[in-house]
Chains A and B, each alone.
Chain A
Amino acid sequence: MSKEMSGAEMVVEALKDHGVDTLFGYPGGAVLPIYDALFQQETVRHILVRHEQGAAHAAEGYARSSGKVGALLVTSGPGATNTVTGLTDALMDSIPVVCITGQVPTHLIGSDAFQECDTVGITRHCTKHNYLVRSIDELCRVLHEAFYVASTGRPGPVVIDIPKDVQFARGRYSPPHNVHHKTYHPQLDADMALIRKAVAMMASAKRPIFYTGGGVINSGPAASTLLRELVKLTGFPITSTLMGLGAYPSSGEHWLGMLGMHGTFEANNAMHDCDLMIAMGARFDDRITGRLDAFSPGSKKIHVDIDPSSINKNVKVDLGIVGDCGHVLEAMVRLWRSEAMHAEQPPLGEWRKQIDGWRARKSLAFRNSTTTIKPQYAVQRLHELTKGRDVYVTTEVGQHQMWAAQHFHFEQPNRWMTSGGLGTMGYGLPAAIGVQLAHPQALVIDIAGEASILMCIQELSTAIQYRLPVKVFILNNEYMGMVRQWQELLHGGRYSHSYSEALPDFVKLAEAFGAKGLRCYEPKDLDSAIQEMLDYDGPVLFDCVVEKSENCFPMIPSGKAHNDMLLADLSDDAGVDLGAIIDERGKMLV
Chain B
Amino acid sequence: MTAPVSPPSPYSAAAKQSNVEAHTLSVLVDNEPGVLARVVGLFSGRAYNIESLTVAEVVHGEHLSRITIRTVGAPETIEQIRHQLERLVPVRKVTDLTIGGRSLERELAMVKVRGRGDDRTDALQLADAFRARVVDATTESFIFELTGKPEKIDEFVDLMRPIGLVEVSRTGVAAISRGPEPI
Contacts and interface: CB of A to CB of B under 8 A. Distances in A.
Interface of A: 120-121, 124-125, 128-129, 132, 134, 149, 181-184, 286, 289-294, 307-309, 311-314, 316, 558-560, 583-586, 588-589
Interface stretch (B84-92, B99-107, B141-149, B163-171): B84-92
Contact of A309 (B6, B11, B84, B92): B84
B19 interface: no
Interface string B88-130: 1111100000000000000000000000000000000000000
B53 to A, nearest CB: 17
B152 interface: no
Nearest to A181: B89
Nearest to B32: A131
Nearest to A286: B10
A286 B11 CA distance: 9
A389 B86 CA distance: 44
B182 interface: no
Contacts of B4: 583-585
Given A124-B37, A125-B45, A309 B9 contact: no
B89 A183 contact: yes
Given A124-B37, A183-B91, A290 B10 contact: yes
A291 B86 contact: no
Closest 9 CB pairs of A and B: A309-B83, A584-B4, A583-B6, A129-B89, A559-B9, A292-B10, A585-B6, A292-B13, A585-B9
A589 B14 CA distance: 13
A309 B87 contact: yes
Contacts of B80: 309, 312-313
B179 interface: no
B8 interface: yes
A291 B13 contact: yes
6 contacts: A183-B29, A309-B80, A309-B87, A583-B4, A585-B6, A589-B9
B180 interface: no
- Residue with the greatest number of chain B CB neighbours at <10 A, chosen from A181, A184, A312: A184
B76 A121 contact: no
Given A121-B37, A183-B92, A308 B83 contact: yes
Contact of A183 (B6, B11, B33, B90): B90
Nearest to A149: B89
Contacts of B11: 588-589
Contact of B41 (A125, A289, A290, A307): A125
Contact of A583 (B7, B86, B88): B7
Given A292-B13, A309-B87, 12 more contacts: A181-B89, A183-B30, A309-B83, A314-B14, A316-B76, A558-B9, A559-B7, A583-B4, A584-B4, A585-B4, A586-B6, A589-B9
A124 B35 CA distance: 10
Contacts of A149: 89
Contacts of A589: 9-11
Nearest to A311: B83
A150 to B, nearest CB: 11
Contacts of A583: 4, 6-7
Q: How large is the interface on B (under 10, 10 to 19, 20 to 34, 35 or more residues)?
A: 20 to 34
Nearest to B89: A129
Nearest to B83: A309
Contacts of A120: 34
A182 B45 CA distance: 26
Contacts of A125: 41, 45
Contacts of B138: none
Interface in B1-51: 4, 6-14, 29-30, 33-34, 37-38, 41, 45
Contact of B86 (A308, A316, A558): A308
B14 A292 contact: yes
Interface in B53-102: 76, 79-80, 83-84, 86-92
A458 B13 CA distance: 43
B87 to A, nearest CB: 6
Contacts of B92: 182-183
Contacts of B30: 182-183
- Residue with the greatest number of chain B CB neighbours at <10 A, chosen from A183, A293, A316, A584: A183
A469 B37 CA distance: 44
Contacts of B79: 312
A149 B11 CA distance: 32
A559 B12 CA distance: 10
A309 B13 contact: no
Contacts of B10: 286, 289-292, 559, 589
B86 A309 contact: yes
A293 B8 contact: yes
B70 to A, nearest CB: 21
A584 B13 contact: no
Nearest to A564: B7
A183 B8 CA distance: 41
- Residue with the greatest number of chain B CB neighbours at <10 A, chosen from A181, A289, A292, A312: A292
B43 to A, nearest CB: 12
A181 B10 CA distance: 38
A584 B12 CA distance: 13
A313 B45 CA distance: 15
A311 B89 CA distance: 19
B11 to A, nearest CB: 7
A491 B54 CA distance: 48
B111 to A, nearest CB: 36
B168 to A, nearest CB: 31
A227 to B, nearest CB: 25
- Residue with the greatest number of chain B CB neighbours at <10 A, chosen from A124, A132, A290, A560: A124
A124 B7 CA distance: 37
Contacts of B45: 125
A586 B38 CA distance: 34
Contacts of B84: 309
Nearest to A183: B92
A124 B83 contact: no
B175 to A, nearest CB: 21
- Residue with the greatest number of chain A CB neighbours at <10 A, chosen from B13, B30, B80, B87: B87
A321 B34 CA distance: 32
A309 B92 CA distance: 16
A515 B6 CA distance: 52
B91 A291 contact: no
B40 to A, nearest CB: 10
A84 to B, nearest CB: 14
B93 to A, nearest CB: 9
Contacts of B14: 292, 314
A552 to B, nearest CB: 20
